[in-house]
Structure 1
Amino acid sequence: MFTNHRRQNERTGRYGTPRLRYLQELVSQFQNETSEEIKERIAAHLANFSYDPYNYSFLRQLNVLELFLDCITESNERLVEFGAGGICNSSVDPANAAVIVECGGIPLIITCLSSPIKSTVKYALAALYYMCNPLTKDTILKAEVIELIRRYAMAGSDECLHNLAKAFLEKHVP
């Protein structure tokens, strides 16, 4: 369920932490953390917040989208997965997508299409689906990317990935 200001006030209560401050604490904790396991949990938590439009302006204000992109460049596959999930969840919003594009995110997302983790591939494919438009299509619709997506569309071992790939091709590849 998506949040609005009234619902957030009801849930937070009189003594609760406002959403912006709570997200800021998570970001600070992520940046100062040395344990990979705790960083994974924080990244997953932030990715869960990124699906709700109520949080979009907070994510941009706190540079969480950039944090997700940084996660994608890590060698830790769980951080890559959660970074891709956060990008996927937030890329539906055009303002978020613009930030991701401005930060050079499309090539990073494309690398996730070759991940050994299927959920990372799904997140990347869905994010590219949302982000493909007249301004980004030259970067996204390269022959090697389309070929990879076609292979996913033909593979029947993962129905969700198969359907995502088919939907991408139907919408973006003539």
Structure 2
Amino acid sequence: MELGRLEYLQALVTEFQVTDSTEAKEQVLANLANFAYDPSNYEYLRQLQVLDLFLDMLSEDNESLVEFAMGGLCNLCLDKTNKEYILEANGVEPIINCLSSSNEETVVSAVTTLMFLTTPRSRAQTTALPVVECMLRFSLSANKRLSNLASIFLQDYCSPPQLEEARNLSKHTAVGIPLPKD
């Protein structure tokens, strides 16, 4: 059975690489993201360089490809080996870039992934000032999923000085959503 699983995943990766059909690429990437949910597939997905494929897709113009790739990374990054790989591959920056997506699923996956990727070593990057400012804006969103997730991020991953600095910067810039008056 295990050999069959590797062969099946290899066939998906090959199909993704050789097809010219955007629809087929989207379907294959969605399937790979779903397989990334199962820890028994992690080793195969690493062997087939699917983490690199997901990271590469984050910069695509096709919003569906970005959504599925971001979802796949979110599914994979709870695993310590996968987390280290993503961090070593400079994956945080393209994930942060996904916070500006117009696709809600992409943004929710990006926030969640940043939470999962936060370690003592990566914290400076995952909670950089622009990220904290973004989370402050998201915490005010009418979208409950996003506002709750951002609030958890701010509470669990950011220090009081970081929050204060981000709030002060937000008050003095014309960028983003203004914070409510105290």
Give the alignment's TM-score, normalised by structure 1.
0.88
Please point out which of 128, 139, 164 is paired with 1:142. 128
Paired position in structure 2 for 1:87: 73
Q: Aligned-pair distance for 1:148?
A: 0.2
Give the letter for the 1:172 counterpart: Y
Q: Aligned-pair distance for 1:159?
A: 1.1
Paired position in structure 2 for 1:70: 56
Paired position in structure 2 for 1:6: none
Q: Aligned-pair distance for 1:73?
A: 1.0
Paired position in structure 1 for 2:166: none
Paired position in structure 1 for 2:114: 128
Instruction: Give, in whole Å, the separation in 2 of the partners of 1:48 and 1:171.
Output: 27
- Counting only pairs closer than 5 Å after superposition, residues 90-109 of structure 1 correspond to structure 2 as 90-109=76-95
Per-residue CA deviation, residues 116-174 of structure 1 (Å, 9 max, x unaligned), is 0010000000000000111111111111110001111121x211111111111111102
Instruction: Give, in whole Å, the separation in 1 of the partners of 2:25 and 2:89.
Output: 22
Aligned identity (percent) is 43
Tell me the matched-pair count: 159
Give the letter for the 1:22 counterpart: Y
Instruction: Say whether residues 1:53 and 2:23 are aligned partners.
Output: no
Paired position in structure 1 for 2:103: 117
Instruction: Give, in whole Å, the separation in 1 of the partners of 2:19 and 2:149.
Output: 35
Instruction: Say whether residues 1:162 and 2:151 are aligned partners.
Output: no
Give the letter for the 2:149 counterpart: L
Paired position in structure 2 for 1:153: 139
Q: Aligned-pair distance for 1:25?
A: 0.6
Unmatched segments (≥5 aa) in structure 1: 1-8
SS in 2 for 1:116: coil
Unmatched segments (≥5 aa) in structure 2: 160-182
Q: Aligned-pair distance for 1:74?
A: 0.6
Instruction: Give, in whole Å, the separation in 1 of the partners of 2:19 and 2:86.
Output: 24
Give the letter for the 1:50 counterpart: A
Give the letter for the 2:131 counterpart: V
Larger radius of gyration: 2
- Counting only pairs closer than 5 Å after superposition, residues 34-53 of structure 1 correspond to structure 2 as 34-53=20-39
